[in-house]
Structure 1
Amino acid sequence: MPKMKTNSAAKKRFKLTGTGKIKRKHAFHSHILTKKTTKQKRNLVHDTLVNGSDERRVKALLGI
């Protein structure tokens, strides 16, 4: 049986932590930043974890 292919879009967007959780970046921080407040832009800089309900789906895309 052939190997499972990792989804190319997913491998660019998600990273695995040491404990096996999945890190992701925030959306809405790439363009149209002039109308967003400084506080809003600052809070979008930091990475966060994928929600537990989506974790199984993302792991399947990554082939974990």
Structure 2
Amino acid sequence: MPKLKTRRSAAKRFKRSGSGKFMRRKAYKNHLLEHKGPDRKSRLSKKCVVSEQDAENVRAMMPYS
């Protein structure tokens, strides 16, 4: 059986945590940041866990992570 290919777009967006969960960046911290407060921007900077429903799809896109 041939090797499975990793979806490169998913590999750039998601990382595996030490406990095995997939981590992702939060949205809304790309541009138009002038009117957003510092607390909000700080909160958006942190990583968060991918939901269980989406983690199944991410796992399929990244077979070796």
Normalising to structure 2: TM-score of the pair? Answer: 0.86
Cα displacement (A) at 1:63: 1.4
> What stretches of structure 1 move > 2 A for 4+ residues in a row?
none
Distance in 2 between the 1:49 and 1:36 partners?
23
Cα displacement (A) at 1:37: 1.8
Q: Give the aligned residue type for 1:9.
A: S
Distance in 2 between the 1:63 and 1:28 partners?
29
Cα displacement (A) at 1:35: 2.0
1:3-48 deviation digits (Å, cap 9, x = unpaired): 1110001001111112111111111112111121222111001111
Q: Which residue of 2 is the match for residue 21 of structure 1?
A: 21
Alignment RMSD, CA only?
1.2
Distance in 1 between the 2:34 and 2:8 partners?
31
Q: Which residue of 2 is the match for residue 7 of structure 1?
A: 7
Q: Which residue of 2 is the match for residue 56 of structure 1?
A: 56
Aligned pairs, number: 64
Normalising to structure 1: TM-score of the pair? Answer: 0.87
5+ residue gaps, structure 2, are: none
Identical aligned pairs, as a percentage? 38
